[in-house]
Amino acid sequence: MMIPEMEKFLSEHQDHFVKMADSVAVLLKDHNVAHAKLLLSQYKYNRVPVIDKDKNFVGVLGLGEIVEFEMGQDFFYDKLLETKIEEIMNSEVSTLQEDFTIEEVLHELVNEPFLPVLSGTKFKGIIVRQELLKSVNAMVHDFTKEYEITKRNP
């Protein structure tokens, strides 16, 4: 269990590590793989969330999935134009609901660069590991400005 005061401190700084959906690059599942490759390459993203036209989260797609697909197609560009993102995206992804706890975030974010935040199935944003680490760094440096820490007697 996480120390409640530390969870409260990090919760109060969510605006630093939660990126809302309107500021996150996403792909639509019906777009073709060539479009996804262009977006990922142009903006230097490794992975991005994939949504449907109703803004339901359906998975993630990264350069790794695209390269794996290309290798299986002998790198024929026509296949990138003909194949929809939903055919190669990863739909087995850890997600969090909007009422997440910091403890859940810390546990799930260990192996992921970001976690999608959902309301039911609706995409609401992402929690970015790098930004959360910045908040943890701030907590380490600023925690004692708000809280007093005393050592227990053995």
* DSSP track, 114-148: EEEEEETTEEEEEEEHHHHHHHHHHHHHHHHHH--
The distance from CA 96 to its chain's CA centroid, rounded to whole angstroms, is: 10
Please tell me the predicted confidence (pLDDT) of residue 96: 97
Q: What is the mean pLDDT of residues 109-138?
A: 94
Please tell me the predicted confidence (pLDDT) of residue 107: 93
pLDDT at 99 over 90: yes
CATH code for the domain in which residue 49 is found: 3.10.580.10
What does the DSSP assignment read for 78-123? HHHHHSBGGGTSB-----EETT--HHHHHHHGGG-SEEEEEETTEE
Residue at 47 is within a domain: yes
Measured distance CA(10)–CA(36) in Å, rounded: 34
pLDDT band at 47 (very low <50, low <70, confident <90, very high): very high
Residue at 151 is within a domain: no
pLDDT at 74 over 80: no
pLDDT at 75 over 70: no
- Residue range(s) defining the domain that contains residue 105: 4-146
pTM: 0.88
Q: Which residue has the higher pLDDT, 141 or 76?
A: 141
Residue at 154 is within a domain: no
Tell me the Cα Rg of the chain.
Answer: 19
Give the 3-state secondary structure of residue 70.
helix
Tell me what the pLDDT averaged over the chain comes to.
92
Q: What is the mean pLDDT of residues 52-74?
A: 93
Q: What is the mean pLDDT of residues 50-77?
A: 91
pLDDT in tens, 101-114: 999 999 999 999 99
Domain tally, the chain: 1
Please tell me the predicted confidence (pLDDT) of residue 113: 92
How far is the CA of 121 from the CAs of 9, 15, 132, in angstroms?
28, 21, 23
Residue at 77 is within a domain: yes
DSSP state of 32: B
Pairing of strands 18-20, 114-119: unpaired
